[in-house]
Amino acid sequence: PGISAILKAVVSTQSTGEVAKQLLAAQRCVHTTSHQLSSPQLDRKSMMDMVKEQQSFKKGEICDSVSIYVRGGAGGNGYARKNGVGGNGGSVWVEALPIYQNLNHIHHHHNRKFVAGPGDHAGDDLVRGRPGEDCVVEVPPGTVVTDLRTGKIMCDVDKENTRYLLQGGEKGGNLVNNYRGKRGEEKWMKLVLKSIADVGLVGYPNAGKSSLLSMLSSASPTIGSYPFTTLKPTVGHMQTIDRSQLVRIADIPGLIEGASDNKGLGHVFLQHIERTKILLFVVDVQGFTLNYKTPHRTPFETFGYLCRELELYMAGLTKRPIVVAINKMDAANSDHAYEEFVALYREKLAKLVKVHSIVPISCYTGQGLEQLQDLLFELKYKKKRKITEKDVV
């Protein structure tokens, strides 16, 4: 769907001047995703500090991107007296293993440094030095490795139990290089997970995303009656009683208007949404107001502006399977607000943004949660299920 078309459908009740300004701002937005960012202006010390001083993660929170330092092994010195050749340095590899689902183990690795072993020196008892030990960075499948300096994608680690070379080791000392082994070359790289969960919770702050995650899964995210309770993504697991089906749900930090322009750490939060397969919009039936300086948004305007931010960040993001959960249905006049949302969606946005289902829920009373669970299992496993009238919009 076109950004301008979405914006026109949402703000049709506003003044013509305000619509024109927002359309102009939308058309001027040019954004860059996480794996395209580069830092060519940083020196070695700054790059090392970037690797060391990364944010910490509490229990239950996941790390989906991390910067690391890698260095190939140095070549061993040769031995001129006996024409001895030094051992080659070890190489640094990255390997995808299915036992990992996030990058937390990389984040907690000692200083996030991965250095291959040096080759042995040649000598009287060792005419040819032994090669250095290789270093393997173990990551979950679907990890993209990017050079921090150039922004170039080094490799897309998508095949399990397959190794990709990050940095080769140096050759050992020999006659050509005057028997001096060369120091290993160093690089700074960023690891980014392409997918962190099956379902991503999308919504403004304080819409009830963390409460919903705690109701649907065994996760225990921080819950509070204030905006930006969640600052890092938390993944919960929802599974059937016989454990034959599993759906991973990510609680994404709340967005604000202008997130696609990196307001309120917008790019960081949108990166998490980009790495989920199904989008579950959580909309407060009472609407949303960030603070006294910002206008109040109705539930329909809330959904429309969220779609706009996603499209501005990455075109086609709203073409993924979408479920809308209208939360806090235990509030007064919620039935009327819900019916108004459905009517406005059908009239203005149905042709632009395809929604699989609109489900009224309440994390306080438990209304609609079982129906929502069935929908998410159906979307992931593509199993046919009898659709009720309330599901179809």
First vs last Cα of the chain: how many Å apart?
18
Tell me which DSSP letter residue 67 carries.
E
Whole-number Å distance between alpha carbons of 121 and 95: 29
Count Cβ atoms below 10 Å from residue 273 Cβ, excluding itself: 25
With cut-offs at 50, 70 and 90, classify the pLDDT of residue 78.
very high
- Per-residue pLDDT band for 263 (boundaries 50, 70, 90) equals very low
Q: pLDDT, tens digit, for every residue of 24-39?
A: 454 444 343 433 444 4
Q: Are 51 and 69 in contact (CB under 8 A)?
A: yes
Q: DSSP readout, 250-279?
A: EEPPPP-TTGGGTTTSHHHHHHHHHTEEEE
Residues contacting 209, CB < 8 A, separation 6+: 201, 203, 230, 251, 252, 254, 282
Q: What is the pTM of this model?
A: 0.67
CB count, 10 Å around CB of 89? 32
Averaged confidence pLDDT in the chain: 78
Q: What is the pLDDT of residue 389?
A: 40
Is 224's pLDDT higher than 60?
Answer: no
Q: What is the mean pLDDT of residues 58-87?
A: 86
Closest CA to 245 of 102, 99, 378, 359: 378
Phi, psi of 66 (to 5 degrees): -150, 145
Show the tokens assigned to 257: 């208007």
Per-residue pLDDT band for 151 (boundaries 50, 70, 90) equals confident
- What type of residue is 186? E
pLDDT at 41 over 60: no
When mean pLDDT is compared across 261-270, 275-284, 346-355, the lowest value belongs to 261-270
Residue-level pLDDT at 70: 95
Cα separation, 283 vs 14, in Å, equals 21
Question: What is the token pair recorded at 53?
Answer: 């001083």
pLDDT digits (tens, 9 = 90+) for 117-128: 999 999 888 889
Judge whether residue 45 has pLDDT over 90. Answer: no
Distance between CA atoms of residues 167 and 164, nearest Å: 9
The candidate with the shortest Cα–Cα distance to 326, out of 339, 314, 316, is: 339
